[in-house]
Structure 1
Amino acid sequence: MEIENRSVEFIPEHERYGSPKRLFTIWCSANMQVTTLVIGALGVVAGLNLGWTFIGLILGNLIGSVFMAAHSAQGPHLGIPQMIQSRAQFGVIGAGVPLAIVVLAYILFTAANGVVMRDSIKAVAPISDNNAIILFGVLTLVVGFMGYELIHRIGAWMSALSSLVFALAAYAVWQHGVPSGVWEVSAGTFKFAVFCLVVTQAASWTLGFGPYVADYSRYLPSSISTRLTFWYSYLGIVVGSTLLMLLGALMAASAMDVTTDPGSAIAKLFPGYETLVYGVVIVGVLEWNVMNLYSSYMSTTTIFTGFNGKVRISLLTKFVIMAIVAAIVTWIAIAAQYNFSAYFSDILIGQVYVLVPWSAINLADYYWIRKGRYCVAAMYDVNGIYGKVNWNTLSIYAFAVVVQIPFMELSFYKGPIAALVGTDISWLPALVVPGVLYYLVNRRKQLHLTPFGSVQSFATPVTPLERA
């Protein structure tokens, strides 16, 4: 298998290939891994009963996945990485602001995965805590450097393997027995604050994929309909994420320790086959970790190429950037590994504050304002029609972050509205405020809506509705 030699540039039509069915397998497998179990367990750990936790998890996944899948539909249409498209809203250089935040968010999540996998790796190889994290980082770097095709192939295999392992695990947990009374869904068992927290955590998990989801659909032929791209992505993440979160909640209700070492919690359900199960668990999280590293590299490269308009990156440069990001990730994981619970909770909720406003602006621009019509070539031209910096959009973005402050709840801060409600519900203003503001500011402006067929050698613009 060849190393991918494309990065932030446009994918020409003659290099496009694949079926939208690949989007189901990659997003199902990326979520069908033990980190997702932890999200599902948090509501039960916080005191909500199993019935209400299930409802909250399903609701959060159904809502958050809509926005993730809407971003995925942009990939085949434009043929460029997700965050390059942000240059149309923020300016070619101005897009560096949300890009830098995206890079930071995914570095933190990649580090979290290293901590989650530490004990699973140690169960297979007798090495120290630090060396287990370093080994996971090296494996992530190698697969990430190989790129797009290997990531998709791993996704296809892991969809089958993970489905089998976790289905058997669910059966084993059910046979183990769930305490009576934990399923009751009534007013007496409802805890509003914790329920809202469960919805927020589930929604923020799926919303968090938005800034890189089109990276994994950009090689698909532009003739593929937006509807197919959306639904395969949506169903993939809903199925993978929801089922694993529900299993995590079920395990927590059965008094199994899911939050501190989810890999071992699963492996112990398969006496005599622990090593094999650990292998599946490690590769499952490795796939998601690789996706984080790969897109962190794409976003980092997008920041710097905005200044010089460069569209091709050498393999050596690609490796150096990925290696630097992987080294930073490994250092953070080693430093945070013994205070992981507070760290993971903060980054899970904290990403909402910075990633969701970007998502709202991007989707409002793509579906409401420009309706999919862009000049892809201009996204690589610092002096082009999208400009260097769009201060209006940056102001809306900054305002959207500030508006969320009263709604925030972290380990070190609790806003007044969060205190009143009892939990963090910042994802609601994070979605609504910037999207509405961006639409109102730009609805009557001529935002360089590229007429059909005029994008020269990059792409033939077709609106999402026309290809649906």
Structure 2
Amino acid sequence: MSIETEQPVASPLGAVEQRGIEPVPEAERNGNPMELFWVWFAANISVVGLPLGVSLVAAGLNIWQAIVVAFLGAFGSFAIVGVISIAGRRGGAPSLTLSRATFGVRGNIGPTVVALLSRLGWETVNTATAALAFVTMCSIAFGTGPTAKSVPVLTVVGVVLFVGCTISVSGMGHAFILIVQKWATWIFGAINLFVIAFLVVEVNWSAVFSAPPGSVAIVLTGIGTIAAGTGIGWANSGADMARYQTPAVKGSSLIASAAAGAGIPLMLMISMGALIGSSDADVLASPNPLEAIRETLPLGMAVVYLIVSFVGLLLSNHLSVYSAGLVTITLGFRLRRTYAVLVDVVVTTAASLSFLLIADSFYGPFITFISLLAVPIVAWVGVFCVDMIGRSTYDEVALLDLSRRSAYWYRGGIAWPAFGSWIAGIISGATFMQVQPGEAAWFTGPFHETWAGQNGLAWMVSLLVAGLAYAALGGARRREDAR
């Protein structure tokens, strides 16, 4: 049987959600954009924003430039997430399931694998950061080493603890996410505002104000880094939550809810990281970015904030695991979403331990990871958004049919104009990239020395090439799939 026929019903708060990738019935689509606002806000108020802010200062920006970059990168990239959310409202299915209509049953495998790698990568970052928060808490309470490598046993305990907490809530679905993320927004938002108020009083403002401004090239690179590290990483998950939105919701409201919901907390956290990095040069060289919390805040406040950070990362990770489970099922693995989650956490546990105990630094691999995945993700965004211009409905049966009878089989299971444009976008973007997680570059594209390459715009090249190529091949033609 080639049709994915699992037809479970949605579950109430507190129950394990059984719904897979099948389109949500219209009778159950009663969500509103404000619900998505809370979801994106709570998912992005995590402490991961701190190293992003520190990385901007390390690149050569001053605090004011970092704030502007955070605004443009975060709000702009999550507006893209909002655009993808419109497809979720139209089709009632997860992003990569809807992508079958664009790329074909087999052609969609490539973008889906990239989406899974993205989600696994961000879960690894969340898990590693939570473990560093645990290590830092122990260093304050017990005087142990401040870095992951100096206390490997505690690092393992931190990872296992975080993964265990993730598993404990991994089966909770859409209703659980909506309630918890809303309350988390108020609680963690208030705590972060309190910490920022303390920093404003205590930071070394002379060091902050004396930092010279960075060049236009560094500003553009910073915008690309923040975009890649925030909204672009979530772009191929935009429809996963929006599939529960009522069909009457305006697309502009979905875009605004994603851009503002994520942009506000990201500006808060990234600015905080930039402020800490600007006032303390030692933070820039630390292998544990959360050590800055211990050095900046009073011990009691630092412990409370690190505990809150641990919980905040759990909320962000839960949303990522939710999407990863859907992506895994979209690949064709016949697993319930709860089982897909278990496979997911095993992979991220091993990856985070390798990241913490083997890698020489935090920032190099972190920035390399988000830069690498940005190119294939935005190439998918370019193709998918052009396809959305000519598509307002999706064939619900064809979305789940993996056989040759599917309306989305096309030629050999691949929609070649879409798939070819995606590949063209990836190759074009790669020619402007440089992959350098450490002191030595692993890869340098032939056009890296050009203006676009030097300004970190490889992702923009990929987006434009993929989208324009697909449009030229007729990707925006008006089409209506019978539902």
**TM-score past 0.5 threshold:** yes
Aligned partner (choices 436, 459, 465) of residue 433 of structure 1? 465
Kindly state the Cα deviation for residue 42 of structure 1 after the two structures are TM-superposed.
0.6
Matched, 1:145 2:171: yes
Task: Give the distance between the partners of 2:350 and 2:468, measured in 1 at CA.
Answer: 40
1:180-259 matches, cutoff 5 A: 180=206, 182-183=208-209, 189-204=213-228, 205-255=230-280, 257=283
1:170-185 matches, cutoff 5 A: 170-180=196-206, 182-183=208-209
Find the counterpart in structure 2 of residue 462 from structure 1: none
Deviations, residues 350-381 of structure 1 (Å, cap 9, x unaligned): 11111110111111111x222x2322322122
Deviations, residues 77-109 of structure 1 (Å, cap 9, x unaligned): 221111111001110222111101111122122
CA contact under 8 A between 1:51 and 1:184: conserved in structure 2?
Answer: no
Q: Which amino acid aligns with 1:281?
A: S
CA contact under 8 A between 2:207 and 2:278: conserved in structure 1?
Answer: no
Q: Which amino acid aligns with 1:158?
A: A
CA contact under 8 A between 1:43 and 1:197: conserved in structure 2?
Answer: no
Find the counterpart in structure 2 of residue 322 from structure 1: 341
Deviations, residues 16-43 of structure 1 (Å, cap 9, x unaligned): 3333211111111111111012112111
Deviations, residues 89-136 of structure 1 (Å, cap 9, x unaligned): 110222111101111122122112111111322455786211211221
Task: Give the distance between the partners of 1:262 and 1:166, measured in 2 at CA.
Answer: 17
For residue 164 of structure 1, give the secondary structure of its aligned residue in structure 2: helix
Q: TM-score, normalised by structure 1?
A: 0.87
Matched, 1:449 2:480: yes
Find the counterpart in structure 2 of residue 281 from structure 1: 309
Find the counterpart in structure 1 of residue 146 from structure 2: none
Distance 1:279 1:152, change over 3 A: farther
CA contact under 8 A between 2:132 and 2:288: conserved in structure 1?
Answer: yes
Find the counterpart in structure 2 of residue 154 from structure 1: 180
Aligned partner (choices 376, 379, 384) of residue 357 of structure 1? 379
Task: Give the distance between the partners of 1:322 and 1:152, measured in 2 at CA.
Answer: 19
Task: Give the distance between the partners of 1:165 and 1:263, measured in 2 at CA.
Answer: 16
Deviations, residues 151-171 of structure 1 (Å, cap 9, x unaligned): 222211211111111111111
Aligned residues, how many?
A: 438
Task: Give the distance between the partners of 1:26 and 1:225, measured in 2 at CA.
Answer: 18
CA contact under 8 A between 2:118 and 2:233: conserved in structure 1?
Answer: no
CA contact under 8 A between 1:89 and 1:393: conserved in structure 2?
Answer: yes
1:93-172 matches, cutoff 5 A: 93-123=106-136, 128-172=154-198
Deviations, residues 172-211 of structure 1 (Å, cap 9, x unaligned): 11111343374589xx833233222211111112111111
Find the counterpart in structure 1 of residue 328 from structure 2: 300
For residue 106 of structure 2, give the secondary structure of its aligned residue in structure 1: coil
Deviations, residues 207-262 of structure 1 (Å, cap 9, x unaligned): 11111121112122222222222211221011121221111111111117377444
Q: Which amino acid aligns with 2:471?
A: Y
CA contact under 8 A between 2:79 and 2:256: conserved in structure 1?
Answer: no
Distance 1:263 1:418, change over 3 A: same
For residue 143 of structure 1, give the secondary structure of its aligned residue in structure 2: helix
Find the counterpart in structure 1 of residue 430 from structure 2: 405
Find the counterpart in structure 2 of residue 376 from structure 1: 396
Task: Give the distance between the partners of 1:250 and 1:289, measured in 2 at CA.
Answer: 25
CA contact under 8 A between 1:161 and 1:280: conserved in structure 2?
Answer: no
For residue 221 of structure 1, give the secondary structure of its aligned residue in structure 2: coil
Find the counterpart in structure 1 of residue 414 from structure 2: 389
Deviations, residues 295-330 of structure 1 (Å, cap 9, x unaligned): 11111100116xxxx8xx6xxx33332111110110
Task: Give the distance between the partners of 2:27 and 2:331, measured in 1 at CA.
Answer: 27
Kindly state the Cα deviation for residue 439 of structure 1 after the two structures are TM-superposed.
1.2
Query: CA RMSD of the aligned region, Å?
Result: 2.3
Task: Give the distance between the partners of 2:431 and 2:289, measured in 1 at CA.
Answer: 33
Q: Which amino acid aligns with 2:203?
A: G
Kindly state the Cα deviation for residue 50 of structure 1 after the two structures are TM-superposed.
1.8
Task: Give the distance between the partners of 1:6 and 1:266, measured in 2 at CA.
Answer: 40
Aligned partner (choices 319, 323, 335) of residue 291 of structure 1? 319
Distance 1:392 1:120, change over 3 A: same
Task: Give the distance between the partners of 1:273 and 1:54, measured in 2 at CA.
Answer: 25
CA contact under 8 A between 1:196 and 1:424: conserved in structure 2?
Answer: yes
Q: TM-score, normalised by structure 2?
A: 0.85
CA contact under 8 A between 2:208 and 2:279: conserved in structure 1?
Answer: no
Distance 1:266 1:148, change over 3 A: farther
For residue 175 of structure 1, give the secondary structure of its aligned residue in structure 2: helix
Higher mean C-alpha deviation, range 122-131 or range 78-87: 122-131
> Which structure 1 residue ranges, 4+ long, deviate > 4 Å from structure 2?
123-127, 181-185, 443-446
Find the counterpart in structure 2 of residue 83 from structure 1: 96
Task: Give the distance between the partners of 1:285 and 1:261, measured in 2 at CA.
Answer: 16
Task: Give the distance between the partners of 1:444 and 1:196, measured in 2 at CA.
Answer: 30
CA contact under 8 A between 2:115 and 2:327: conserved in structure 1?
Answer: yes
Task: Give the distance between the partners of 1:180 and 1:24, measured in 2 at CA.
Answer: 37
Gaps of 5+ in 2: 1-13, 143-152, 437-441
